[in-house]
Homo-oligomer: A and B are copies of this chain.
Amino acid sequence: MNFSSDTSAPAHPAVIEALAGVNTGMEASYGGDSVTAGLRAKLAAVFETEDFDYWLTASGTASNALALSCFCSPIGAVLCHEEAHIARDERGAPEFFSGGGKLQLLTGFGARIDREALETALGQINPGFVHETPAEVLSLTNLTECGTAYRAAEIALYAGLAKEKGLAVHLDGARLGNVLASGKASAADMTWRSGVDVLTFGLTKTGAIGCEIILLFGGARKKFAALQARAKRSGHMPPKMRFLAAQAHAMLEDGLWLNLAGQANARAAALADLFTGAGYELAYPVDGNEVFPFLPEEVARRLMAAGAKFYPWPGGAYRFVCSWNTAEADIAALAEALKP
């Protein structure tokens, strides 16, 4: 009954096996290896394009900050939701990697940027007014920190608005699989086809040990050399890169990542039913693997006493996260504990 975070889950066994599988013989270091090179084909299949470059890190914070630092200069700003992971949970990584760039925080229900807030912010950009810091990047998160999703059409709309003003578009896809698992949109639709320039494609929360892929699409590929240099100087160019790449291979093979994300989503749906069935309202719609019920404090305490792990969330709800490792038995046990 551990619903604390999908980062607390183990890795899928296929990932460990993949590590063993590439643990043979000498390989070029620092990303020049054949395992890393071999990922291109798999990523091309997932994203239905050849027009991309990619880099691997073991950390979502690093991937986001590296991605942003290629597009946000020290004298620029990133537009993002005020509850975005890059704003709240990365200890100033974007400011650090960009050399002192700013985050400009936007509002919106359920960690989704409100269209009006975005348009207002975009309308205020005035690069000629030297005293203020102009936004240079729009960063969206999908799945959001509140477990809600943007539809591909919304990504396209927001990206379009941003691009009219000359901004680059970043997507934090730490839980991208949880958005795509339903099959309503493809990875391509949700990213480059909608105008995303740079993606943090997270596999860690989905089931890897630690594997996040930064993808640069189309014109953004011109930043690839700078991305590598920034990866190197921030310690995100591991000598034995093959072991990062092997994780990605395992996760992308036969759609394992989507299957695992779908499984986590299914558990979350069951959880949502459980709470609403018991009469508790949810703070946000459940679009992925996170559920935010408003629970009376004594109920929360009862669940914790029964061994359930989960966290309170700003705004009064509690956050329950499912992972590929969440079992039906966990749901059943929670159901039991929930009974009055």
Asked if B10 and A24 make an inter-chain contact with CB atoms under 8 angstroms apart, the answer reads yes
At the interface with chain B, which of A222-230, A255-263, A293-301? Answer: A222-230
Asked if B27 and A10 make an inter-chain contact with CB atoms under 8 angstroms apart, the answer reads yes
From known contacts A100-B92, A229-B75, A233-B93, infer whether A58 and B238 are also in contact, taking CB-CB under 8 Å: yes
Contact with B along A4-15 (1 / 0, CB 8 A): 110111110100
CA of A89 to CA of B237, assembled, Å: 12
A residues 65-111 near B (Cβ < 8 Å) are 65-66, 73-75, 77, 88-93, 95-96, 99-103, 105
* Nearest chain B CB to A153 CB, angstrom units: 31
At the interface with chain B, which of A37-45, A127-135, A268-276? Answer: A127-135
Does chain B have a CB within 8 A of A63?
yes
A residues 188-218 near B (Cβ < 8 Å) are 204-205, 209-210
Asked if B75 and A92 make an inter-chain contact with CB atoms under 8 angstroms apart, the answer reads yes
Asked if A243 and B210 make an inter-chain contact with CB atoms under 8 angstroms apart, the answer reads yes
Asked if A89 and B26 make an inter-chain contact with CB atoms under 8 angstroms apart, the answer reads no
Specify the main secondary structure of chain A where it touches its partner: loop
Cross-interface CB contact of A229 among B27, B58, B91, B235, cutoff 8 Å: B91
Cross-interface CB contact of A30 among B16, B23, B130, cutoff 8 Å: B130
Does chain B have a CB within 8 A of A46?
no
| Neighbouring B residues of A25 by C-beta, 8 Å | 10, 325
CA of A240 to CA of B202, assembled, Å: 13
Asked if B235 and A93 make an inter-chain contact with CB atoms under 8 angstroms apart, the answer reads yes
* Nearest chain B CB to A27 CB, angstrom units: 6
Does chain B have a CB within 8 A of A232?
yes
Contact with B along A48-74 (1 / 0, CB 8 A): 000000000111111101100000011
> Residue on B with the closest CB to A73?
B226
Does chain B have a CB within 8 A of A236?
yes
CA of A274 to CA of B104, assembled, Å: 38
Does chain B have a CB within 8 A of A28?
yes
Asked if B91 and A130 make an inter-chain contact with CB atoms under 8 angstroms apart, the answer reads yes
CA of A225 to CA of B130, assembled, Å: 8
Does chain B have a CB within 8 A of A234?
yes
Does chain B have a CB within 8 A of A337?
no
| Neighbouring B residues of A75 by C-beta, 8 Å | 91-92, 226, 229-230, 233
**Which 7 A-B pairs have CB atoms at the shortest separation, nearest pair first?**
A62-B235, A7-B239, A99-B99, A91-B233, A59-B235, A2-B26, A95-B100
Binding site for B on A (CB under 8 A): 2, 4-5, 7-11, 13, 16, 19-20, 22-30, 57-63, 65-66, 73-75, 77, 88-93, 95-96, 99-103, 105, 127, 130-133, 204-205, 209-210, 225-226, 228-230, 232-240, 243, 309, 325
26 CB contacts below 8 A, A to B, read A4-B28, A5-B239, A7-B29, A8-B27, A9-B26, A16-B20, A16-B23, A20-B20, A25-B325, A26-B309, A30-B131, A58-B238, A60-B235, A61-B232, A73-B226, A75-B226, A90-B131, A91-B133, A92-B101, A93-B234, A95-B95, A95-B101, A95-B102, A105-B105, A130-B229, A204-B240
